[in-house]
Structure 1
Amino acid sequence: RRGTCARVYTINPKKPNSALRKVARVRLTSGFEITAYIPGIGHNLQEHSVVLVRGGRVKDLPGVRYRIIRGTLDAVAVKNRQQGRSSAL
């Protein structure tokens, strides 16, 4: 589902992990406001970016039950990916 970023920020994962995970507060077209994870290294999202959201929780982030789909709408695909993906993508 589509939505607009209301706030882009970082949060710390649950124990025993440690990092600054990138998340966005997204206001969906349905009126819901959710927290969505931004996967991959580096992103271009900011307030008012339009993003496409899919389900799928992030195991070590409490309350984050959605992920942003990279490479659609305002979310650019991961630049110079370190881990390979097939050429189809």
Structure 2
Amino acid sequence: MAKTLKHFHINCSLWRNNFLQFLHERGGPPKRRSRSNDKKPISGQSCFKGIVLKLVIRHPKKPNSGNRKCAIVRLSNGKEICAYIPGVGHNLQEHSHVLVEGGRRRDLIAVRANIVRGKLDCAPVKGRK
């Protein structure tokens, strides 16, 4: 039993030395890629103009319930995102021009933008000042 443990530790130390030698020859560990810009369709901009491709209804995560109105929007930079339509009621249809700002909806999966009400083709919320 003790003999096998001894061989195990020798093998581990040899493997570690080989790995460190490999990293040294390669110039260190590989550089980690920043994924922050890949994930954000609205990267560094306050808002983008876009065209509504499709209106969808999303269901929130637990413990919330209800139907949330969203739109699949093609932004002016060519990316497609799912954007939340805030407020009660809306007049959006396919091919409507909308202004999209960043900001995620925490109870909806993969919704990382909001449509600005009262700009371009999206009417303001009725009954609000």
Q: TM-score if structure 2 supplies the norm length? A: 0.62
Distance 2:113 2:58 in 1: 15
Distance 2:94 2:107 in 1: 24
Q: Amino acid of the residue matched to residue 55 of structure 2?
A: V
Q: Amino acid of the residue matched to residue 72 of structure 2?
A: R
More helix per residue = 2
Question: What do you get for the CA RMSD once the two structures are aligned?
Answer: 0.8
Larger RCO (CA within 8 A; separation ≥ 6):
1
Point out 4+ residue stretches in structure 1 off by more than 6 angstroms: none
Q: Is residue 2:118 matched to residue 1:71?
A: yes
Distance 2:116 2:125 in 1: 11
Aligned to 2:93: 46
Distance 1:22 1:31 in 2: 22
Unaligned runs of 5+ in 2: 1-47
Q: TM-score if structure 1 supplies the norm length? A: 0.90
